[in-house]
Amino acid sequence: MGSNLAFFYAFAAVAVVSTLLVIAQPNPIYSVLLLITSFMALAGLYVMLDAPFVAVTQIIVYAGAIMVLFLFVIMLLGVDRIDVRSERLFLQRPLAIVLGIGFVVEVTAAIRAGVGLSTHAPEGFDQLQQAGNTQAVAAVLFRDYFFPFEATSILLIVAAIAAMVLAQRKVRAVTQAEIDAEVAAGQPSDVRTAS
């Protein structure tokens, strides 16, 4: 019991600290990496709660796919080179403070009401999925919601390809004749020929 409590506090501390650093970090690449760390810590907490399917999904879907895609798009677009000194949206900071306070009040009310706690589980909840959580989710996902699942995966692939195409920088091809003309004029070119 003591080791489980130590692991819980370790994972919880990593999750809370890395999440706070996400919003305090001015560099977006570091923010994405810290968010991946937070997701990994949450996956560790899910393992401790005997929810291996949710833990693996947390790692594969969120940390492995979505956050890496965010990191890829940020690095592709070069967002880290943009230095924004002023807020572009009117009342952005006050609205964020109000929404943050509302979120804290909502979570506090949910904890006080006992939402999500094991002592308030519905009657017969442990008998509902005797085969296990993973088998129950797989049965629903791949039987009842198979088409929406596959359609969503295709849409995500199309969105990723579209983001790469739209973010591609257009560079004018330089011919060998232009390079030779610049060299002959005494202006050595630092561009390469287009293949």
Give pLDDT, residue 50.
79
Tell me the average pLDDT across 125-152. 75
DSSP assignment, residue 78?
A: T
Instruction: Indicate yes or no: pTM above 0.75.
Output: no
Q: Token digits for 149?
A: 């699942």
Residue 36 has pLDDT above 80, yes or no: yes
User: pLDDT of 4-27, one tens digit each?
Assistant: 788 888 889 999 999 999 888 887
> Whole domain around residue 76: which residue ranges?
1-81
Mean pLDDT computed over every residue of the chain = 75
User: pLDDT of 52-86, one tens digit each?
Assistant: 888 888 888 887 777 777 777 776 666 545 555 55
The number of domains in the chain is: 1
Residue 47 has pLDDT above 70, yes or no: yes
User: Does 58 or 195 have the greater pLDDT score?
Assistant: 58
- CATH label of the domain that carries residue 25: 1.20.120.1200
Tell me the average pLDDT across 109-117. 63
Q: Round to whole Å and give the CA distance between 111 and 31.
A: 28
Give pLDDT, residue 195.
43
In a domain, 146, yes or no: no
Residue type for 118, please?
Answer: S
**Of 15-24, 123-132, 171-180, minimum mean pLDDT range:** 123-132
In a domain, 34, yes or no: yes
In a domain, 43, yes or no: yes
In a domain, 18, yes or no: yes
In a domain, 19, yes or no: yes
In a domain, 61, yes or no: yes
In a domain, 134, yes or no: no
How many CA atoms does the CB half-sphere of 15 hold within 13 Å? 14
Task: Quote the percentage of the chain above a pLDDT of 90.
Answer: 4
Give pLDDT, residue 194.
43
In a domain, 35, yes or no: yes
CA dihedral sign, ordered 92, 96, 102, 106: positive
